[in-house]
Chains A and B, each alone.
Chain A
Amino acid sequence: GDSVTQMEGPVTLSEEAFLTINCTYTATGYPSLFWYVQYPGEGLQLLLKATKADDKGSNKGFEATYRKETTSFHLEKGSVQVSDSAVYFCALSLGAGGTSYGKLTFGQGTILTVHP
């Protein structure tokens, strides 16, 4: 079945450090890929997305590129801030049609803590 594997956390960085959170996926079709972020005590928010191979999603300084050949969607940020401390979830969706629409399959989540 479809699955998402994220690098295990927690990840602890100093402010202004470079961030990479690895994400790989297994899917039977051509999924859309997402990164969601969950700040303490809040629900999940969409951070960025990519809907086809080689697309790059970006938002708030974060980027991720849809790599079909390596089935990956790694999240990167060049300089993290304390306010980026949160849990990050990689997810996939098989998108339109049938009973798969909108069903997100999530990775386990990676806790990021950024220290001043």
Chain B
Amino acid sequence: DAGVIQSPRHEVTEMGQEVTLRCKPISGHDYLFWYRQTMMRGLELLIYFNNNVPIDDSGMPEDRFSAKMPNASFSTLKIQPSEPRDSAVYFCASSSRGLTRNTGELFFGEGSRLTVL
């Protein structure tokens, strides 16, 4: 089975531009998470979904960030407008309560490295 698929792997953009990151979770997983990784802050949970519904978005840094999950196989994280401090690696992860028996194990994608100039 394919793992979590993220695109693009690398994105370089200029300040003020809109950025859209995409994620395809593992088929059958009902939880999807967006994490951000920076040297200064480490790994931060931004938002997560259960059955396509946002459950906790308290980690979303500000209104410039938004995330959607229109169906079970696709999610987007959008930054508009982007700023240099948004430069980071953004990870998508998925999980399933049934498969993992409530242990909370997550399966991560390879990440999208964003550079905002």
A44→B33 CA distance, assembly (Å): 13
Given A43-B91, A43-B111, A44-B91, the answer on whether A103 and B45 have CB atoms closer than 8 Å is yes
- Cβ contacts under 8 Å, B104 to chain A: 32, 34, 93-96, 101-104
Total contacting residues, chain A, CB less than 8 A: 26
Question: A99 touching B55 by the CB < 8 A rule?
Answer: yes
A103 → B minimal CB distance (Å)? 6
- Cβ contacts under 8 Å, A99 to chain B: 55-56
Interface of A is mostly: loop
Q: A95's contact among B42, B55, B102, by CB below 8 Å, is which? A: B102
Q: Does B95 contact A (CB under 8 A)?
A: yes
B70 → A minimal CB distance (Å)? 21
Total contacting residues, chain B, CB less than 8 A: 24
Given A43-B109, A45-B108, the answer on whether A102 and B33 have CB atoms closer than 8 Å is yes
Given A99-B55, A102-B31, A102-B33, the answer on whether A46 and B42 have CB atoms closer than 8 Å is no
Q: Does A106 contact B (CB under 8 A)?
A: yes
A51→B103 CA distance, assembly (Å): 7
Q: A93's contact among B42, B56, B103, B107, by CB below 8 Å, is which? A: B103
- Cβ contacts under 8 Å, B107 to chain A: 46
Residues of chain B from 43 to 100 with CB closer than 8 A to chain A in the complex: 43, 45, 48, 50, 55-56, 91, 93, 95, 97
Question: B105 touching A96 by the CB < 8 A rule?
Answer: no
Question: B48 touching A102 by the CB < 8 A rule?
Answer: yes
Task: For B32, give the chain A residue with the smallest CB separation.
Answer: A102
B20 → A minimal CB distance (Å)? 19
Q: B42's contact among A34, A45, A109, by CB below 8 Å, is which? A: A109
Q: Does B12 contact A (CB under 8 A)?
A: no
- Cβ contacts under 8 Å, B95 to chain A: 102
Task: For A6, give the chain B residue with the smallest CB separation.
Answer: B42
B residues at A contact (CB < 8 Å) = 4, 31, 33, 42-43, 45, 48, 50, 55-56, 91, 93, 95, 97, 102-111
In the complex, 14 of the A-B residue pairs with CB atoms within 8 angstroms, ordered by the A residue number, are: A32-B105, A43-B108, A45-B108, A46-B107, A93-B105, A95-B104, A97-B102, A99-B56, A101-B97, A102-B95, A103-B33, A103-B45, A104-B104, A109-B42
